[in-house]
Amino acid sequence: MIKLNDKTEARIDEIISKLTLKQKVGQMNQAVLWAGSEEYYIDRIRKGEIGTLICGLPNRSDDRSSEAERRRLLNSLQKAAIEESPCGIPLMFGADVVHSYDVCYPVPLASAASFDTELVEKCYRNIAEETSRDGLNWTFAPVLDLAHDPRWGRVVESGGEDPYLSGSMGAAIVRGFQGQLNSGRDLIACGKHFIGYGAMEGGRDYHNSDISDYFFNNWYTKPFKAAVDAGALTIMSSFNSVAGQPVTSSKKLLRDVLKNKMGFNGFVISDYDAVKQLKNQGVAEDDRDCARLAAIGGVDMEMVDNTYPKYLCELVKSGELDESVIDEAVRRVLRVKFASGLFDNPYRNDYDCDIEAHRADARQLASENVVLLKNNGILPLGENSKVFMTGPFLNERISHVGAWAGHYDLERIATYREAAAETVAKDKVSFSDSVFSETVMNEIPDDCDAVILFLGENMCCTGEAVSVADISVPKDQEELVRRARAKGIPVIGVFNFGRPRALGNVIDMLDAAVYGWHNGTMAAYGMLDVLYGRKNPCGKLPMTILRHIGQLPMYYNSLNTARSVNAYYGEGRSYYDMKTGPLYPFGYGLSYTRFEYSAPICSKTEISTDELECGKTVSVSVDVKNIGDISGKEVIQCYVRDHVGTMQRPVRQLCGFRKVEIAAGDTVSITFDIGMKELGYYGEDGVFAVEKGMFTVYTGENCLSENGIEIRVV
Ligand code: GLC
């Protein structure tokens, strides 16, 4: 929540009092930068017609000349705003810098798999530093949509299926981007897409979501609340509708929930062309109606549709729109521009970034988020292991960057083949480019110890408007696995899919399997660090991996069932033709060592609702021992189960995690404080409360852990 001092709030009042109605509407208008000459924009800025601009990203250039030109242009537009526009209000320059700028970092879903909020925050600090020197001061990220359906292309941009993990990662990204704000090396964050975008029917982009109030309040709002509490200055509304109400024009969602209940006092920007899409959604007759409904609904700034500049003034003059709605929106826009330091520090300068250090951070993240799914002992490979490498991703380069990587260091992205040639002894590795030919397996050397198949999906199969109907491993890749298996040599599957694919059609044919996502510039190095044991894998699944698409929807924090058939937890038989349960559950990931958990202990086994309401907690502690012979990082997870509630409660709910390095033979003790926030929920009446009764707190290596202790609320 933005806190400005009285003096600044008074300055906002003064500015609003001086602006004409047209100039106020100008502050609610986002123009597209790439549609006219510099003079054209300067002229419109002088007239106060533009509040912010959405910018394409400059072409990356080795000598940074195109970036320098972009900085010059944006500073020139800013100068016109500061010196010649009404009231000298600075401009915001936004772009989709989602996970990449001078270095490409892993896609956000992959970052979530690291369960390392500190490392993620550091990487996003890097991105803000890399980006700001080119003139931008605002980014349309993080994505906070809960992702339950891997058919949806945008799960790669999310923090996964769990509200707590998604919120923790979203907050870390907000902190990374916004940093100290007024430093001139920060990006204003924009939590998106509020709300329910990930719940669209069939995972089909731009379709509708139908979410019960219960799930809405207890699952979908939480990541946005976390980002707002972390200080996100802007929020983007989503294309979809929720329960028959397009978000873009929903007073209930944008005003009642986001602005009033959550206390968000920054500004809401619509998604690209979403205001006009109210006609398609069948709630508006024409563009004029779209403008009216979106403004009343709570969209403070319109992204490029141009209906605000065209119609809002006349709507006010005709009495169809109260000017107080305009004033409220402009107040929010000005509040963000003050809070971000743009009034004090509107220009961006060039400065040096330690790009090699940034790449080192990207490499660490690209190894820490690799999830070891299966290993019969063939991994880690030894330096003397003789390996044969092939597969469609062996020579892939650009797909490592993933969706929404508009500006990245292509020349520094190594293919797996290049990275292996660089880091593995020549006589220990051989390659085949004849990936799908009948003969590829005949090229395997006789003394080969293992075959590595680099599998995956092109980055164009993920992202916006790219949902897929089939989430299995593609048939041709399945056939490649089959042929490799037939050779009788250990086969290692490396999966470079942006989304969690259903692996049921290949997993049993593999001796080892690692999930490497779309992991950015350093993807190949990060993965080879894991395969060769230079890094002990410690990634954990932020989304469930299914056996088959027919199991959808399937997510770990589901409710109890009437009979003991909760498929996720291995109960009963959901489908006659399919093994029960996911292939790999939320929070799952193996290591090259093993960790042993003690039974948890707690500071007390009873706590009253009064104590909880006063902020008192129960401490639950667990000892975790590394019983293997190499050091490793473990993500110690804490889940809560409320056994009996007025409403059905999820069988497990993540409420905490700690990622810790534990040396071989050592033990660490971790404590989780369990209180109101962890035990309560929004009931049918929408009120947050804790109910009396029995709870179990689990501490373990993934959501299926049974390592629990009971606590009674009295
Ligand atoms: C797109 C996306 C949104 C993005 C915006 C601007 O349609 O939905 O995530 O930030 O438009 O490019």
Q: Which long-range contacts (CB under 8 A, 24 or more apart) does 484-487 make?
A: 484/441, 484/451, 484/453, 484/509, 485/509, 485/510, 486/441, 487/441, 487/444, 487/451
Residue with the nearest Cα to atom 11 of ligand 1? 272
Q: Calculate how far, in angstroms, residue 70's C-alpha sits from the geometric centre of ligand 1.
A: 21
Q: When comparing pLDDT for 411 and 36, which is higher?
A: 411
* pLDDT tens digits for range 580-639: 899 999 999 999 999 999 999 999 999 999 999 999 999 999 999 999 999 999 999 999
Q: Could you tell me the distance, in angstroms and rounded to a whole number, from the CA of residue 401 to the centre of ligand 1?
A: 18
Whether the CB of 96 sits within 6 Å of ligand 1: yes
User: What's the 94 CA to ligand 1 centre distance in angstroms?
Assistant: 11
Is any atom of ligand 1 closer than 6 Å to the C-beta of 140? yes
Regarding the beta carbon of 464 and ligand 1, being less than 6 Å apart is answered yes
> Is the pLDDT score of 435 beyond 80?
no
Question: Among 82-86, 347-351, 483-487, whose mean pLDDT is lowest?
Answer: 483-487
CA 513/CA 365 separation, integer angstroms: 19
Compute the mean pLDDT over every residue in the chain, rounded to the nearest whole number: 96
Q: Cα–Cα distance between 136 and 177 in angstroms, integer?
A: 12
| pLDDT classification of 696: cutoffs 50, 70, 90 | very high
What is the amino acid identity at position 380? P
Tell whether the model's pLDDT for residue 35 goes beyond 80: no
Helical ranges in 134-270 per DSSP H: 163-178, 213-215, 222-229
Q: How far, in Å, is the centroid of ligand 1 from the Cα of 96?
A: 7
Q: Looking at the predicted structure, is the pLDDT value of residue 465 above 80? A: yes
CB 549 within 8 A of CB 444: no
Cα(271) to centroid of ligand 1, in Å?
A: 6
- Give the residue, by CA position, lying nearest to ligand 1 atom 1: 272
pLDDT digits (tens, 9 = 90+) for 469-481: 999 999 999 999 9
| DSSP structural state of residue 157 | G
Average pLDDT (693-712) is 98
The alpha-helical segments, DSSP class H, found in 487-558 are 523-531
Among 10, 645, 26, 552, residue whose Cα is nearest residue 313? 26
Let me know: does 458 contact 399? Beta carbons within 8 Å: yes
Continuous H helices in 499-622? 523-531, 609-613
Residue 282 contacts by C-beta under 8 Å, 6 or more apart in sequence? none
Return the sign of the alpha-carbon dihedral for residues 685, 686, 692, 695: positive
Instruction: State the distance from the centre of ligand 1 to the C-alpha of 330, rounded, in angstroms.
Output: 22
Query: How high is the pLDDT of residue 440?
Result: 80
Paired with 621 in beta bridges are: 601, 671
pLDDT confidence of residue 210: 96
How far, in Å, from the CA of 404 to the mean position of ligand 1? 10
In 369-448, which ranges are continuous DSSP H helix?
416-423
What residues pair up with 456 in beta bridges, in sequence order?
A: 496
Nearest residue to 407 (alpha-carbon basis) of 84, 203, 49, 131 = 131
Identify the residue whose C-alpha is closest to ligand 1 atom 10: 140
Residue 523 alpha carbon to ligand 1 centre in Å: 25
Q: What residues contact residue 295 under an 8 Å CB cut-off, 6+ apart? A: 28, 308, 312, 315, 321, 325, 326, 329
- Environment class of 442 (CB within 10 Å of its CB; exposed 0-12, middle 13-18, buried 19+): exposed
Structure confidence at residue 15 as a pLDDT band (50, 70, 90): very high
- Percentage of the chain modeled with pLDDT above 70: 100
In this predicted structure, what is the pLDDT of residue 258?
Answer: 98
In the predicted structure, residue 442 carries a pLDDT above the cut 90? no
pTM of the model: 0.98
Say yes or no to pLDDT of 147 above 80: yes
Indicate the SS3 state at residue 121: helix
Distance 615 CA to ligand 1 centre (A): 40
Which protein residue has the closest C-alpha to ligand 1 atom 3? 271
Using the atom order of ligand 1, give the atom closest to the CA of residue 143: 9
- CB count within 10 Å of CB 304 equals 18
Measured from the Cα of 239, ligand 1's closest atom is: 8
The pLDDT value recorded for residue 149 is: 97
Partners of 654 in the beta sheet? 639
Residue nearest to atom 8 of ligand 1 (CA): 271
SS3 165: helix
**Percent of the chain surpassing pLDDT 90:** 94
User: In whole angstroms, what separates CA 335 from the centre of its chain?
Assistant: 26
Strand bridging mode 52-54 / 29-32: parallel
503 vs 472: CA distance, rounded Å = 6
Give 522-543 pLDDT, tens digit per residue: 999 999 999 999 999 999 999 9
- How crowded is residue 265: how many other Cβ atoms within 10 Å of its Cβ? 17
Separation of 236 CA from ligand 1 center, angstroms?
9
Strands 667-674 and 693-700: unpaired
Lowest mean pLDDT among 20-29, 502-511, 558-567, 578-587: 558-567
**Closest by Cα among 540, 553, 659, 521 to 589:** 540
Does the beta carbon of 485 lie inside 6 Å of ligand 1? Answer: no
Reported as a pLDDT band with limits 50, 70 and 90, residue 566 is: confident
Q: Of 100, 136, 271, 302, which is best to mutate to test ligand 1, by the most ligand atoms within 8 angstroms of its C-beta? A: 271
pLDDT at 212: 96
* CA distances for 167 relative to 146, 163, 231, 388, angstroms: 9, 6, 13, 41
Amino acid at 216: F
Q: What is the pLDDT of residue 572?
A: 84
- Cβ burial of 455 (10 Å; 0-12, 13-18, 19+) is buried
Tokens representing residue 114 in the block: 């690291």
Ligand 1, atom 7: closest residue by C-alpha: 272
Q: How many secondary structure helices (H) and strands (E) does the chain include?
A: 19, 27
Q: In a mutational test of the pocket of ligand 1, which residue from 34, 464, 467 has the highest number of ligand atoms less than 8 Å from its CB?
A: 464
Q: Is the CB of 192 under 6 A from ligand 1?
A: yes
Tokens for 568, please give them. 């996720």
- Residue 266 pLDDT more than 80? yes
Q: Is 273 in the pocket of ligand 1 (CB under 6 A)?
A: no
pLDDT at site 143: 98
**How would you list the strands of the sheet with 190-194, edge to edge?**
190-194, 234-237, 267-269
pLDDT in tens, 267-316: 999 999 999 999 999 999 999 999 999 999 999 999 999 999 999 999 99
Checking if the pLDDT of 434 tops 80, the result is no
For ligand 1, pick from 194, 206, 272, 303 the residue to mutate: most ligand atoms within 8 Å of CB: 272
Q: At which residue do the structure tokens 């958990």 appear?
A: 597
Give the β-pairing of 92-95 and 138-139: parallel
Atom number in ligand 1 closest to CA 140: 10
Over residues 660-674, the pLDDT tens digits come to 999 999 999 999 999
At 675-691, the pLDDT tens digits run: 999 999 999 999 999 99
Ligand 1 contact via 271 beta carbon (within 6 Å) = yes
CA distances from 178 to 122, 185, 315, 339 (A): 12, 9, 36, 11
Q: State the pLDDT at residue 64.
A: 93
